[in-house]
Amino acid sequence: MKQCEYCGKNISYHDQYCSDECQIAANQYYSKTEKFAKPFMVVNTVCVFGIPVGIFLMSVQRMIGASVAATSCVVLGIMLLFFPFATDGMIRKFKIGKATRVTRIIGICTIALGFAVAGLAFFLR
């Protein structure tokens, strides 16, 4: 059986979505992805490179490095909460609805990691 592109329910081979709600939600996801793809990519790149740079700086200057790494983690996590753009592999595996939820959970964990890095740097100085 074929599965709905948004929720993953089994549908007939002639349909793409199981309901109008799934089709509307999928179209909103795709339009939002298309609209915010470039800003998402820029912020994602800066934050992903900011984390190892901050970790490297922690060996030289602990507070500056920790603040760079923590800020990068928190900004990346907030971005994943507001723009939960999953990868194509995640969408193929989980479908759009679940991939969006998983991406938001990853964003929350990234924010928590940023606060943990900041807290550890503060208490270990």
Q: Write out pLDDT tens, residues 41-73.
A: 999 999 999 999 999 998 888 889 999 999 999
Domain ranges of the chain: 1-35, 38-123
Q: Taking every pair of C-alpha atoms in the chain, what is the biggest distance, in angstroms?
A: 63
Residue 77 binned pLDDT confidence (cut-offs 50, 70, 90): very high
**8-state DSSP, 10:** E
The Cα 29–Cα 96 span in angstroms is 8
Which range is least confidently modeled, 19-28, 57-66, 73-82?
Answer: 57-66
Backbone φ and ψ for 30, nearest 5 degrees, come out as -65, -40
This prediction has a pTM of: 0.88
Give the amino acid at 35.
K
Per-residue pLDDT, 121: 84
Beta-bridge mates of residue 11: 2
Cβ atoms of 84 and 107 within 8 Å: the answer is yes
Percent of the chain clearing pLDDT 90 (strictly above): 74
